[in-house]
Structures are given as C-alpha cells and as structure tokens.
Amino acid sequence: MSTVPAAAALPTPALDPYTPERADPTYRVEHYDLELDYRVASNRLAARAVLDVRALEPIDRVRLDLVGLRVTKVAVGSSTAKWTRRGDKVLVRLPHPLDSGDIVQVTVTYSGTPGPARTRWGTLGWEELSDGALVASQPTGAPTWFPCNDHPSLKATYRIGIECDSPFAVAATGALVETRIRGSRTRRVFEQTHPTATYLVAVHVGRYTEHVLTRLPVPVRLLVPDAVAATARHDLARLPQMIDVLSQRFGPYPFEDYTVVVTADDLEIPLEAQGMATFGANWLRGDRSHERLVAHELAHQWFGNSLTAARWSDIWLHEGFACYAEWLWAEAADGVPTSLSARRHHTILARQRQDLVLRDPGPSDMFDDRVYKRGALTLHALRHALGDTAFFALLRDWTSANAGGTVTTEQFYDVATAHAGIAGGRIRTLLDAWLDNPRLPRLP
C-alpha cells in the first residue's frame, strides 16, 4: 500500500480541541485484541491488533492513530483491505460502507522499534528503560504501541497477549489469565473487562520480583527490583489502610485488584494506569517522604480511571480529586487537618498568576500544578458549603452513578446542586467562582 509523507495532513474531524491530532469521532472501538511479541535487547515489537469497530455515523473508512511503527497488512473481516499511511494516521478503506451502529472487525499487522512520541507535554508512550520497557501514555501516547482511536471518551475492553524473553517479568492492564513458557520465552495473556481509556492501558517489562502486600480490602501486589524491594515495601506499607480510608470517602474501590510497579530507573513523575500505578525508585526511598503521591495515584482509580473525563478540558475532575485525596489521607493517617492543607496551598496559589480557568485551562496548562491545587481547593470550598455528610454522600453518589463511564463538569454541577437541595443556587454560584473565574476566590 502507498505511504505519503507525514506533511500531507489527513483531514480528520477533531474530537477534542486539546488533542486535534488524535481520534476520530465517527466511530468507536468496542474491544481491542492485541498480540505482542517483544524483544528486550533490541527493543523490537512485532504485533497484531484486532479492533471491533462500531460506526457512530455512516462511514466508508476508519482512521486509526499509530505513531512510528510500520504497518504491513490490514484486513476488514476476513478480506485484505486497502489502506494508506499519512503521518500518524492509518486510513483503512472499508469494502462496504457502514451505517450508524454497524460493527466490523479491523485487523492491523505491524512492527518496528517503539519509542515515545514528542508532544507539547514531553515524550509520551512506549519508553525503553535500561533493562526493560514501560508505557506512559497520558494524554496521547497510546498510538506509540498499538493502533487505536485515541481519546479518553472512547473506552473499550482489552485482551493483551505478550510474548517476551523469560527472565523478564511482565505486567499489563487487566487480569493475568494465561501463562505459557516456550523455550526461552514466556507468553502471558491479560484481560481487561472494565471499560478503559486508551491512555490508561499499560505494559511493563523488567526484572521484577512480585510481592503480595495485602489481600484485603483488595489484593495489592508489588513488582519491584530486588535491590529496592525493602524501601519500596516500607513506603507502601500503609496502602491497605489507604484503600480503606479512601473507600469510606469515595465509595468501594472500583476494581478487583491494584498493582504497583517500581522501576529500577528514576522516573520524572509517578504514573497511573487502570488498576495500576508506577513509581521510579527515586520516589520510594524508605522514609515515606512521598506518601502523598501514593495516595494521589491510588485516588486516580476512582477519579480518572473508573470515572474518566469526557474531554481533556475537564482534567480537574481527575487531578483536583486526586490532590484532595492527598489531604484526606494526611488528615486520616497523620492528623493534618484538610483545612490546614487548604490554607497552605491557597496562600501559595494567591501569589501566582491569576490567569487560569479551571474548567478550561487550555492544552498547555492542563497539567499545571494550579489545576491540581485549585481543583482540590474547589472541593474543599464545596465541602465547607455542604457540610461533611452531604459532601461525602455527593462523592459516593458521583462515583457510583458514573462507574466505568465518562464525566463532565456539567454533570458534576448537576449532582452537587442536587445534594445541596434548596441551596442549589448558592452552590452553583460557588462552583462558578472556582471553575470559571481566573481570579482565585477567597477560601471560606
């Protein structure tokens, strides 16, 4: 099939103004079935992806996001399909047009040396480590290792088969359902039945030893190099208590288990994926000095993973809630009142630029620390206005009603005003001030 230069832009209707280079709103993928053959020494990937595609409107083609990897074959159903590569898009021509609601299976065979994509947020996606690899995709790195329709609103289920050199441990999104050793290589199969955004699908390959930290209230396992196992176990020892505390505040933990991967390499920041968190060894040093980040990544299992923002402009629904979880944990575990944490960070924000609109910070500022802290302060102000009983009932209703789905700020307004009863108008005014006005409101 023909390949045209990357400069030849493919006209694709934008799904999200923050990431116009990704995703196609004319279809969704219901399920991804990935078969990966990975060679660690050469960082070589040979793969096949089978996508169950549902048309959301009449279409005669499917545009897939894929970065840096070479496509060798495409099929639609059982027939070979015509396709064209244009930059980071693979355009698959359907043998017959689809009406809205129709489903077709698209199979892409591809290979190459995966690596991160360069974006305004840094390098994202598949990253080769000193002795292994990981995936860190938020927000647009998923196409560096599999063809997809890359947007958080387009959740799907997954089956991921990975064959890799046997000395290496492998973790991936989903439950491990099969392991088979074939000579010097091991194949593992993971199944994720919970709807999952593309950026939250992860793979880890490394020389890790598995430790079970607890089986209650949910199973928690740790994959860690032996050299840093003791310090990591110390810093994560309070995870069972942390899950219990946050479950009381937010509702039951939303998945069957939780995995923490600690890499031998230092990482710039910790990372969350569906049912999983990743820390570089530099973040777990045996003194719990970064325990707030353990709470932060855990909270993303509710806010970000189970409940996922339908558009990137609503990123505060992930980061503001996870940041507030840090304060809730500090209060429960160490007696630091949330009101003190709120005052400290309000003072810091008041000294910074007053030009960020929390509801729509813009793509360049979507991961600005002000989004995190102002989001948490918004929740603290709402808690003060509603009272603890109504506020935490609101959070539990929010997570329960939207489990496995996507959410918007408008939906949160509706739930918050409903819990406020006759004071709903006052609550809407409060949220307007925190979410829509660049100037930081006074802390109640």
CATH number of domain containing 337: 1.10.390.10
pLDDT of residue 210 exceeding 50: yes
Q: Does residue 240 form part of some domain?
A: yes
Tokens of 152: 């958080």
Mean pLDDT of 239-265: 97
Tokens of 359: 């509801």
Q: What is the pTM of this model?
A: 0.95
What per-residue confidence (pLDDT) applies to 174? 97
Identify the CA nearest to 161 among candidates 174, 144, 151, 148. Answer: 174
pLDDT band at 371 (very low <50, low <70, confident <90, very high): very high
Q: Does residue 148 form part of some domain?
A: yes
| Judgement on whether residues 150 and 25 belong to the same structural domain of the protein | yes
Q: Is 117 exposed, middle or buried (0-12, 13-18, 19+ CB in 10 A)?
A: buried
Chain centroid to CA 322:
13
What per-residue confidence (pLDDT) applies to 294? 98
Residues whose CB is less than 8 angstroms from the CB of residue 432 and which lie 6 or more positions away in sequence, other chains included? none
Whose structure tokens read 């100037």? 439
pLDDT of residue 84 exceeding 50: yes
Torsion-angle region of residue 362: left (phi > 0), alpha (psi -120 to 50) or beta?
Answer: left
Mean pLDDT of 122-149: 97
At position 188, the amino acid (one-letter code) is R
Question: 314 near 407, Cβ under 8 Å?
Answer: yes
Question: 205 near 225, Cβ under 8 Å?
Answer: no
Among residues 147, 177, 205, the one where a domain terminates is 205
Supply the CATH number for residue 8's domain.
2.60.40.1730
Mean pLDDT of 341-359: 97
Q: Does residue 443 form part of some domain?
A: no
Question: 33 near 49, Cβ under 8 Å?
Answer: yes
pLDDT of residue 3 exceeding 80: no
Could you give the percent of the chain with pLDDT greater than 70? 97
Mean pLDDT of 427-438: 97
Q: Does residue 350 form part of some domain?
A: yes
| Judgement on whether residues 393 and 252 belong to the same structural domain of the protein | no
Q: Does residue 442 form part of some domain?
A: no
What per-residue confidence (pLDDT) applies to 14? 83
Whose structure tokens read 């958080």? 152
Question: What is the C-alpha separation between 257 and 106, in angstroms, rounded?
Answer: 31
| Judgement on whether residues 262 and 375 belong to the same structural domain of the protein | no
User: What are the pLDDT digits (tens) for 137-168?
Assistant: 999 999 999 999 999 999 999 999 999 999 99
Among residues 301, 319, 346, the one where a domain terminates is 301
| Judgement on whether residues 344 and 228 belong to the same structural domain of the protein | no
Residues whose CB is less than 8 angstroms from the CB of residue 57 and which lie 6 or more positions away in sequence, other chains included? 26, 100
φ, ψ at 13 (rounded to 5°): -60, 130
Among residues 205, 226, 256, the one where a domain terminates is 205
Of 27-31, 165-169, 302-306, 422-426, where does mean pLDDT reach its minimum?
422-426
| Judgement on whether residues 367 and 256 belong to the same structural domain of the protein | no
| Judgement on whether residues 280 and 190 belong to the same structural domain of the protein | no
428-to-359, 386, 422 alpha-carbon distances in Å: 14, 12, 11
pLDDT band at 397 (very low <50, low <70, confident <90, very high): very high
| Judgement on whether residues 133 and 14 belong to the same structural domain of the protein | yes
The whole domain housing 25 covers: 3-205
Mean pLDDT of the chain: 95
Mean pLDDT of 383-391: 97
Question: 223 near 210, Cβ under 8 Å?
Answer: yes
| Judgement on whether residues 197 and 215 belong to the same structural domain of the protein | no
| Judgement on whether residues 31 and 166 belong to the same structural domain of the protein | yes
Q: Does residue 78 form part of some domain?
A: yes
Strands 3-4 and 83-86 come out as parallel
Question: 176 near 189, Cβ under 8 Å?
Answer: yes
| Judgement on whether residues 274 and 367 belong to the same structural domain of the protein | no
Question: What is the C-alpha separation between 174 and 26, in angstroms, rounded?
Answer: 27
Question: 11 near 20, Cβ under 8 Å?
Answer: no
pLDDT of residue 2 exceeding 60: no
At position 257, the amino acid (one-letter code) is D
Q: Cis omega before residue 152 (within 30°)?
A: no
Question: What is the C-alpha separation between 319 and 299, in angstroms, rounded?
Answer: 9
Q: Does residue 113 form part of some domain?
A: yes
At position 409, the amino acid (one-letter code) is T
pLDDT of residue 11 exceeding 60: no
What is the total count of domains within the chain?
3
User: What are the pLDDT digits (tens) for 278-315?
Assistant: 999 999 999 999 999 999 999 999 999 999 999 999 99
Chain centroid to CA 175:
17
What per-residue confidence (pLDDT) applies to 423? 83
pLDDT band at 1 (very low <50, low <70, confident <90, very high): very low
Q: Does residue 57 form part of some domain?
A: yes
| Judgement on whether residues 181 and 288 belong to the same structural domain of the protein | no
What secondary structure, in 3-state letters, does the chain show? CCEECCCCCCCCCCCCCCCCCCCCCCEEEEEEEEEEEEECCCCEEEEEEEEEEEECCCEEEEEEECCCCEEEEEEECCEECCEEEECCEEEEEEEEEECCCCEEEEEEEEEECCCCEEECCEEEEEEEECCEEEEECCCCCHHHCCCECCCCCCCEEEEEEEEEECCCEEEECCEEEEEEEECCEEEEEEEEEEEECHHHCCEEEECCEEEEEECCCCCEEEEECHHHHHHHHHHCCCHHHHHHHHHHHHCCCCCCCEEEEEECCCCCCCEEECCEEEEEHHHCCCCCCCHHHHHHHHHCCCECCCEEECCHHHCHHHHHHHHHHHHHHHHHHHCCCHHHHHHHHHHHHHCCCCCCCCCCCCHHHCCCHHHHHHHHHHHHHHHHHHCHHHHHHHHHHHHHHCCCCEECHHHHHHHHHHHHHHHHHHHHHHHHHHHHCCCCCCCC
pLDDT band at 62 (very low <50, low <70, confident <90, very high): very high
| Judgement on whether residues 85 and 68 belong to the same structural domain of the protein | yes
